[in-house]
Chains A and B, each alone.
Chain A
Amino acid sequence: MIHFDKVSKVYTDNCAALEEVSFSIEPKEFVSIVGHSGAGKTTLLKMLLAEEKPTKGKIFYESTDIHTLKKGEINNFRRKIGVVFQDFRLLPNKNVYENIAFAMEAAGRTDEEIEVDVPYVLDLVDLSKKIWNFPHELSGGEKQRVSIARAIVNQPDVIIADEPTGNLDPLNTYDIVQILKKINDLGTIVILTTHNKGVIDSLKKRVITMENGRIIRDDKEGKYVI
């Protein structure tokens, strides 16, 4: 479904962030990507979101080379991917309901669909009581759950979670990982990057290990080995 074909990324200062990276992700897979800071994990995800172009190589989503898409097509493509960030990146001037509704509005959904779906996804992440709160009134764990609700509300094919537990305590980390697992069980591809050994070891799912812009391990039921 997603295929990286010998992808390299060299920044202007001749520093290679990725070197000839190739791998595929199949439907319904849960893939964790691990590696030290600077190993190239975030660059990889940015390229999958068409935020950055590869210097060499191609990235396919189904049969489409995503870096040949036009601007309007990129917007449509991004609606198939939900993103969860380490720093939540909620819109500060919108309340929880509006933050999630915004993603649906951007996808061109109707007001009626929004009124039904937003409370539904908030119920899924157990945050129904905070529907009218603003982000600054929420704890870190709650913010991350809003962020996940926003990512899944358009029923994307893929969820990208870029260190989603980096700012959370162990209890919230556990909750967030359980939610991601539940999303994956429902058939959505989840791509997770994390530094948390406990999370990776407990998942017992595929692990891609990166170092200096290269893939050094790709294990079906991997562990956190660096």
Chain B
Amino acid sequence: MMWIKIKRVIRSGFYSFWRNGFVSLSSILVMVVTLFVIGSTIFSGVILDSTLQQIREKVDINVYFVTSTPETDILDMKKSLEQLPEVQLPVVYVSREQALIDFRKRHENDQFTLQALDELGENPLGATLNIKAKDPAQYEGIAKFLDNKGSLSAGGNSIIDKVNYYQNKDAIDRLTKIINSANRLGFIMTIFLIIISILITFNTLRLVIYMSRDEISVMRLVGASTNYIRGPFFVAGAIYGFTSAIATLIIFYPITLWLGSTTEDFFVGLNIFQYYASHFGEIFLIIVGSGVAIGSISSFLAVRKYLKV
């Protein structure tokens, strides 16, 4: 009997979806807008994340060692830096020789500089360590660690010539703040937009069910149980959600295709279309899941009001 009831409820839900063509169409259009907002939120989140990641990767600090520092001391320091939890591996070591080669290469068209270098007779460049933190907020801690480490090494004489963190400090601090507020603002906007669009969908489905209120009371009076009345509305809501989700996914195809190359140029390397194609499975699940959940739950709640007879 249970199976027969489920079969009847599903069939009735399909019929009501199909026979209320215009109402179904308008509900689907409203739900497409909602799901589009949710989808766009996913894409803008990805763009924001990728941009912030790009910026983060551009931030680093360099430790310049005095020229007389033995390589073993520098490698020791590299090892101890790599053990810090906030440091992103690897810490790149550039030896004095490599620094000289790099310098020459950089100035290969600048004969005066190269001549001046030759006249010095010895390599004036110190070795460097290039450090990246996992989070920009952690650079200060790393710089402090280096301060302590530097003053304790080589018999009381600091082996560190300079750490460029202090020159970049302002920029790094500001960037950290921007990243944090962008994340927070993005999150608040996302929640806000999603809540608004869910409310709009809920209200639309409420209106649809309001039109069926007499029908619900008749069902009640012929002795139909609560779930038997609710079931078809629930199924129709789920169908609205599913159809809207498929429509939204189709709409995203040309839009991301069109925006793909633009985002690649603008957001350095992130092609939104490629992202859509490579993450289609997850996006499909999120959009279809949200559509079906919003549609069915809204209908389920909206019918409740008219079931009191």
Contacts and interface: CB of A to CB of B under 8 A. Distances in A.
Contact of A93 (B15, B221, B309): B15
Contacts of A89: 214, 217-218
B4 A93 contact: no
A83 B20 CA distance: 26
B222 A83 contact: yes
B261 interface: no
B224 A75 contact: yes
B220 to A, nearest CB: 8
A78 B221 contact: yes
Interface in B1-45: 1, 4, 8, 15-16, 19-20
Interface in A81-131: 83, 89-94, 98, 102-103, 105-108, 110-111
Contacts of B225: 72, 75, 106
Interface residues of A, number: 27
Interface in B214-242: 214-215, 217-226, 228
A224 B122 CA distance: 128
14 contacts: A51-B309, A75-B223, A75-B224, A75-B225, A76-B223, A79-B223, A83-B222, A89-B217, A91-B215, A91-B219, A93-B15, A108-B1, A110-B4, A111-B4
A70 interface: no
A106 B224 contact: yes
Contacts of B224: 75, 102, 105-106
Contacts of B222: 78-79, 83, 102-103, 106, 150
Nearest to B226: A71
B4 A107 contact: no
Contacts of B8: 105
Contacts of A106: 219, 222-225, 228
Contacts, number: 53
A150 B221 CA distance: 11
Contacts of B220: 78
Nearest to B225: A75
A49 interface: yes
* B interface: dominant SS: helix
| 6 closest A-B pairs by CB | A106-B224, A79-B223, A78-B223, A103-B222, A93-B19, A89-B218
Contacts of B223: 75-79, 103, 106-107, 154
Contacts of A79: 222-223
Contact of A94 (B4, B15, B214): B15
Nearest to B221: A83
B218 A91 contact: yes
Contacts of B15: 93-94, 98
Interface in B65-120: none
A126 B232 CA distance: 31
Nearest to B218: A89
B210 to A, nearest CB: 14
Nearest to A94: B15
A175 B123 CA distance: 117
A72 B227 CA distance: 11
Interface in A37-84: 49, 51, 71-72, 75-79, 83
A93 B217 CA distance: 15
A75 B220 CA distance: 8
Nearest to B23: A93
Given A91-B218, A105-B224, 19 more contacts: A51-B221, A71-B226, A75-B223, A76-B223, A77-B223, A78-B221, A78-B222, A79-B222, A79-B223, A89-B214, A89-B217, A93-B15, A98-B15, A102-B219, A105-B8, A105-B228, A106-B219, A106-B224, A154-B223
